[in-house]
Amino acid sequence: AFGLLNGFVIAKLQINALITTLATMQIARGLGYIISDGKAVGITEESFFALGNSSFIGIPTPIWLTIITFGVFAFLLNRTVYGRNTLAIGGNEEAARLAGVNVVKTKMIIFTVSGFISALAGVILAARMTSGQPMTSVGFELVVISACVLGGVSLKGGIGKVSYVIAGVLILGTVENAMNLLNMSPFAQYVVRGAILLAAVIFDRYKQTSRA
């Protein structure tokens, strides 16, 4: 529902995508706190936990789901009209519109699908933790932005490959794991994450300037 709302506000009302998604994230998070009273919500259906804690040929189910998701979106982005339209809109929305792309419809689909995938990730996380934790995802949005920019996704849009995003995720995951193994203070970890995000944004800006 929030994905569809994002799509409507961004496509129909022409509101900045980043601001819109941050605003609806805060609304969703606030509703989660209100409904749960800021406490963990227990889950009694044990079969639900299998989604986050089972494995197939030694590989955890969430990893398989991640691989499948990356594969599906790599195909959509690289091999379909929908993917080409998405990149075209990100690169130059007006040019895409003049080329006959239904910008409003495509944007609505993009953000609705994004919302669905986010919801699926939340379900898997709840299954792994065996409860609904309203504060678990705090800060994830910055981690996601960092991983995407590290993977070469342009903040201006129109440039990005799923394979590069996977590389960005692996790099960031390695850094996170290293910080935990070194028993780094949680406060120091915030500094490192912020520095990585800043460096990634500066690098993205440098690439855009070089192309110009």
Within 13 Å and on the Cβ side, how many CA atoms surround 181?
A: 6
The predicted pLDDT at position 158 comes to 66
Q: Which of 135, 138, 139, 141 is nearest to 38 (CA)?
A: 135
The predicted-structure confidence for 139-190, as pLDDT tens digits, reads as follows 788 888 888 888 778 777 667 778 888 888 888 889 889 998 999 888 888 8
- pTM for the model: 0.79
In the chain, where are the structural domains located? 1-132, 139-212
The predicted pLDDT at position 112 comes to 92
The predicted-structure confidence for 54-105, as pLDDT tens digits, reads as follows 888 888 888 899 899 999 988 988 888 888 888 888 888 888 888 888 888 9
Q: Is 212's pLDDT higher than 70?
A: no
Q: What is the spatial distance between Cα 88 and Cα 161, in angstroms, rounded to a whole number? A: 14
Position of tokens 């590290």?
150
Q: Which residues contact 160 (CB under 8 A, 6 or more apart)?
A: 77, 87, 90, 148, 151, 152, 153, 154
The stretch 115-129 carries a mean pLDDT of: 87
Q: Is 44's pLDDT higher than 80?
A: no
Q: What is the 3-state secondary structure (H, E, C) of 114-130?
A: HHHHHHHHHHHHHHHHC
Q: Is 20's pLDDT higher than 80?
A: yes
